[in-house]
Amino acid sequence: MPSKDSSTRLDVRKTYKLYVGGAFPRSESGRTYLVHDSRGRFVANASQASRKDARDAVVAARKAFGGWSARTAYNRGQVLYRIAEVMEGRHDQFSAEVAAAEGLSVAKARPLVDAAIDRWVWYAGWADKLAQVVGSSNPVAGPYFDFSVPEATGVVALLAPQDSSLLGLTSVLAPAIVSGNTAVVVSSFARPVPAITLGEVMATSDVPGGVVNILTGSASEIGPWLASHQDVNAIDLCGIESADEARELEAAAAENLKRVRRPVAEDWFASPGLSRLTQYLETKTVWHPIGL
Amino acid sequence: MSRFEYAPAPESRAIADIKSSYGLFVNGAFVEATAGKSFKTVSPASEEVLAEVAEAGPADIDKAVRAARKAFDKVWGPMAGRDRAKYLFRIARLIQERSRELAVLESLDNGKPIRESRDVDLPLVAAHFFYYAGWADKLEYAGAGQNPRPIGVAGQVIPWNFPLLMLAWKIAPALAAGNTVVLKPAETTPLTALAFAEICQQADLPPGVVNIVTGAGRTGQALVEHEGVDKVAFTGSTAVGRAIAKSVAGTQKKVTLELGGKAANIVFEDAPIDQTVEGIVNGIFFNQGHVCCAGSRLLVQESVYDEVLARLKRRMGTLRVGDPLDKNTDVGAINSPQQLAKIRELSQVGEDEGAERWSPECELPQQGYWFPPTVFTGVSQAHRIAREEIFGPVLSVLTFRTPQEAVEKANNTPFGLSAGVWTDKGSRILWMANQLRAGVVWANTFNRFDPASPFGGYKESGYGREGGRHGLEAYLAQ
């Protein structure tokens, strides 16, 4: 077919992939699913992650845990701030993607992207303050010095909210990783594109590979494999909309006594508070005698 | 025969007034169980029946939870923090006044040496109530959000190893935060909890704020699953903790769990050996090893293995096993025949799997449930005695060469409650403390507890912390 107009450029379309261990693989299952915008127009064939992809992501997250949790809090704060910087540079792209995904005008989507970027900045500042706020030196009755420090719990599975494709995703992800946990995230099923772009931001923001792993696909399908996975330490059921499913996942998580965050109605614009930060922390108390 | 002969020095049991039967403590009064069922609690040291105790069924649990709800809505929840504080201070004082009686009662019912119940359990019990009494009027400073409020009715299930201490760990922070409680003590050790109910009466605590329901596993299950319970707090085995976590799935109930452990006690070649041997003994033989954070896996650096083992065996030879009420007793009775059977079974497995078993020569009493202090050498990480919680006076010894190897072996467990490190090198202590995946790390000491100090586990040792500000947070809604 002859070109209608030589000044019209044919755009380069993107193949949407998963983000696992710092790389962008397709689903090992070879599956993809159709993503439409809010008006029903074709947007992409997104990779549909399988249970094998989820397990690969857990392996990558476990491998990254030692290094990420051992970094200084100062450094983790810098990396989170860098995420905000890189997102800022892609503000227009995120606004367009959030608008398409959530059925908003770009003007209405912009404040959502602003809030998501600001949230990374907010959590970045917590990295080196958390231990001072929730840790303690304990006045025990005896000749001992004893202090309590917060420590990351390990690999956290996050079933991201289905409605809020970027702000909600950021609000569950940032508090999990800022303290040194590594994460396996299942994005919104119907609105995965901002999550895929966030994966590209992660890959270019000094976040070590494996710290954040983003799977596009169905939380209902992948969730049970993450909830029952023996090498996952905590799970956020935010993206599970059926109460029955949430109950089943919580019961499966009990097998290795995962810390579970139950789904509740959330206002993503509200100030987050500390509860998501402390949800994925352990408290370690160290004792030593005092004497000459 | 032990190295030193001592004349018996028994504590008089006359001070402990044990009734022949006890009802349930519901809404401020002792009441009969609806179904009229009861069970016996025995002294594990003599198998003597101490008392008949009511067994609470679902109808009794329902009454207790309703009483707690009413007290929460009408009295305890709305009460000013400063007044709740005063009640808790009163309770703390009453415990101190009656501590000798409570210590005797605890040793009789549980089998633990009077030396420990008198010098460790009871002072800590009183201290917990004092500590949390001071929080009751300061909740806005506890760091649990800007508007801290109680959760509601707490259903609490506690184990038999530290009956009154675990009661204090559960009840003191719950009441300080403004919750009301229904507590189920273990079926083998209900007596001090029932004495505590009398203390609540003496303190004029409003009816329904504290309810004590006695019974076994089914009673506990009915409590945990009751719809009127807003918060579940459990200390006990990982298996039961797992079942509780499953049963509260899909509900609004908040949960904290303090479960099992298989702590590594790690000895480096530069450790002060005498103190270390005392710490090893304290780590595993304190309270007959009935301690979730017991140092049951000893990891010794190869270069000092022979010396540590020789001195440990010599020290074990001086441990006196016997009458819990004798003030010279170091190791008391095993709490129940079931627990004794479990310890025997796992010890047999240890031998069958090729580990070498050793106990000092010691004469065990004819009556009661007893197990000698025991050490297994030649243990590998794959052995069941190195992986499963024995919950008895049984120590497994492994070796290591480098600090990295010690960390790997220490962390090679599904549990993560506690760990011990023995070395003279400060930088190594802090490095080890960082690497160990456990909620409590004791360096150059072991089995220390304090109400101001958070305690609790990583991984399958449960979630939540007890003690300190963290322990209070577990009873506050954000």
- Convert the pLDDT of each residue in B163-219 to its tens digit: 999 999 999 999 999 999 999 999 999 999 999 999 999 999 999 999 999 999 999
User: Which strands, in side-by-side order, build the sheet including B49-54?
Assistant: B21-22, B49-54, B38-42
Q: In this complex, which of B243, B444, B468 lies closest to A288 when CB atoms are compared? A: B444
- B445/A287 touch (CB, cutoff 8 Å), yes or no: yes
- A289/B445 touch (CB, cutoff 8 Å), yes or no: yes
Q: Chain A within 8 Å of B468 (Cβ-Cβ)?
A: yes
**A103, pLDDT greater than 90:** yes
Structure-block tokens of residue A198 = 């966030």
Question: Is residue A1 situated within a structural domain?
Answer: no
pLDDT of residue B287: 97
Question: Is residue A10 situated within a structural domain?
Answer: no
Give which of B353, B352, B395 is closest to B375, Cα–Cα: B395
User: Model confidence at A150, in pLDDT bands (50, 70, 90)?
Assistant: very high
Q: Quote the CA–CA distance of A252 and B429 in Å, as a whole number.
A: 37
**How is A73-141 classified by DSSP, letter by letter?**
HHHHHHHHHHHHHHHHHTHHHHHHHHHHHHT--HHHHHHHHHHHHHHHHHHHHHTTTHHHHH-EE---S
Find the CATH number of the domain harbouring A85: 3.40.605.10
Helical segments of A179-239, H only: 193-203, 219-227
Cα dihedral B349→B352→B355→B361 (10° resolution): 80
Arithmetic mean of pLDDT, B46-58? 98
User: Model confidence at A4, in pLDDT bands (50, 70, 90)?
Assistant: low
Q: Chain A within 8 Å of B185 (Cβ-Cβ)?
A: no
* φ/ψ (deg, to 5) at B21: -145, 155
Question: Is residue A167 situated within a structural domain?
Answer: yes
- A257/B238 touch (CB, cutoff 8 Å), yes or no: yes
Which H helix or E strand runs over B21? strand B21-22
Arithmetic mean of pLDDT, B14-40? 97
**B285, pLDDT greater than 80:** yes
Percentage of chain A modeled with pLDDT above 70: 98
Question: Is residue A218 situated within a structural domain?
Answer: yes
Q: Tell me: the pLDDT tens digits for B298-334? A: 999 999 999 999 999 999 999 999 999 999 999 999 9
Lowest mean pLDDT segment, chosen from A126-130, B10-14, B433-437: B10-14
Distance between A146 CA and the closest CA of chain B, angstroms = 8
Domain B264-443 class in CATH: alpha beta
pLDDT of residue A62: 98
CATH topology of domain B13-259+461-477: Aldehyde Dehydrogenase; Chain A, domain 1 (3.40.605)
pLDDT of residue B478: 77
- A274/B443 touch (CB, cutoff 8 Å), yes or no: no
User: Model confidence at A3, in pLDDT bands (50, 70, 90)?
Assistant: low
Arithmetic mean of pLDDT, B72-99? 98
What is the value of ipTM here, to two decimals?
A: 0.94
Question: Is residue A40 situated within a structural domain?
Answer: yes
Q: Which of A241, A287, A290, A292 to mutate to test binding with chain B, by most B CBs within 10 Å of its CB?
A: A287
Summary mean pLDDT of chain B: 97
Distance between B47 CA and the closest CA of chain A, angstroms = 37
**A1, pLDDT greater than 70:** no
Summary mean pLDDT of chain A: 96
**A238, pLDDT greater than 50:** yes
Structure-block tokens of residue B429 = 């202590």
A interface residues, B as partner, C-beta within 8 Å:
133-134, 136, 138-142, 144, 146, 148, 153, 233, 243-244, 246-248, 250-251, 253-257, 259-260, 273-275, 282-289
Give which of B312, B426, B297 is closest to B358, Cα–Cα: B312
**A5, pLDDT greater than 70:** no
For residue A109, give its domain range. 16-289
Give which of A231, A102, A110, A226 is closest to A159, Cα–Cα: A226
Q: Quote the CA–CA distance of B421 and B406 in Å, as a whole number.
A: 10
By annotation, the residues of B acting in catalysis are 258
Q: Quote the CA–CA distance of A50 and A52 in Å, as a whole number.
A: 5
**B2, pLDDT greater than 80:** no
Could you tell me where the beta strands, DSSP code E, fall in chain A? Answer: 32-36, 42-47, 136-137, 144-152, 155-159, 182-186, 212-215, 234-236, 259-261, 281-289
Q: Tell me: the pLDDT tens digits for B370-383? A: 999 999 999 999 99
The alpha-carbon radius of gyration of chain A (Å, integer) is 20
Chains A, B: CB contacts within 8 A come to 116
| Count of domains observed in chain A | 1
Domain limits, CATH 3.40.309.10, in chain B: 264-443
**B339, pLDDT greater than 90:** yes
Question: Is residue A5 situated within a structural domain?
Answer: no
Arithmetic mean of pLDDT, A218-242? 98
Identity of the residue numbered B135: W
pLDDT of residue A7: 76
Question: Is residue A273 situated within a structural domain?
Answer: yes
Percentage of chain B modeled with pLDDT above 70: 99
- B452/A140 touch (CB, cutoff 8 Å), yes or no: yes
Arithmetic mean of pLDDT, B87-111? 98
DSSP reduced 3-state for A131: helix
Structure-block tokens of residue B249 = 């799935």
- A243/B250 touch (CB, cutoff 8 Å), yes or no: yes
User: Model confidence at B3, in pLDDT bands (50, 70, 90)?
Assistant: low
User: Which strands, in side-by-side order, build the sheet including A136-137?
Assistant: A136-137, A144-152, A281-289, B440-443, B418-422, B264-267, B297-301, B394-400, B374-377, B356-358
A281 CB neighbour count, 10 Å cutoff: 23
Arithmetic mean of pLDDT, B132-159? 95
User: Model confidence at B145, in pLDDT bands (50, 70, 90)?
Assistant: confident
Arithmetic mean of pLDDT, B430-453? 98
Question: Is residue A6 situated within a structural domain?
Answer: no
Domain limits, CATH 3.40.605.10, in chain B: 13-259+461-477
Cα dihedral A215→A218→A222→A227 (10° resolution): 100
**B1, pLDDT greater than 60:** no
**A61, pLDDT greater than 60:** yes
Q: Quote the CA–CA distance of B338 and B369 in Å, as a whole number.
A: 10
Q: Quote the CA–CA distance of A162 and A180 in Å, as a whole number.
A: 25
